[in-house]
């Protein structure tokens, strides 16, 4: 899928089945940054930790988590890209956890 097709208001799919924490959230974050505000991202993930990480990420970053569905061996998330995205400070990302 090219970048121009992701700029519309349609829905974009992101399949991260088989990828482990933190990759599902990191890939969702990267894809959401390329979308226009209000666009939808549907994420398919198999990592059980994503049930915790994805809602937390959406709340912290300013995206709307519309729906979570358990599909048995995988989880489906529907996320609306926020208009006022909050990115973590660069110095926070570079600090070891024990220094925070």
**Which residues are part of the catalytic machinery?**
21
Which two tokens mark 12? 């974009």
Distance, CA of 100 to CA of 92 (rounded, Å): 8
Which two tokens mark 69? 């569905």
Task: Name the residue among 76, 67, 84 with its Cα closest to residue 13.
Answer: 76
């Amino acid at each position: 899928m090219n970048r121009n097709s992701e700029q519309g208001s349609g829905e974009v799919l992101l399949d991260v089945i088989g990828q482990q924490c933190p990759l599902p959230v990191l890939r969702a974050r990267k894809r959401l940054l390329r979308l226009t505000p209000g666009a939808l991202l549907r994420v398919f993930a198999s990592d059980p930790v994503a049930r915790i990480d994805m809602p937390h990420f959406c709340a912290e970053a300013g995206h709307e988590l519309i729906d979570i569905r358990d599909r048995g061996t995988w989880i489906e998330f529907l996320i609306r890209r926020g208009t006022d995205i909050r990115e973590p400070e660069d110095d926070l990302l570079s600090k070891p956890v024990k220094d925070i």
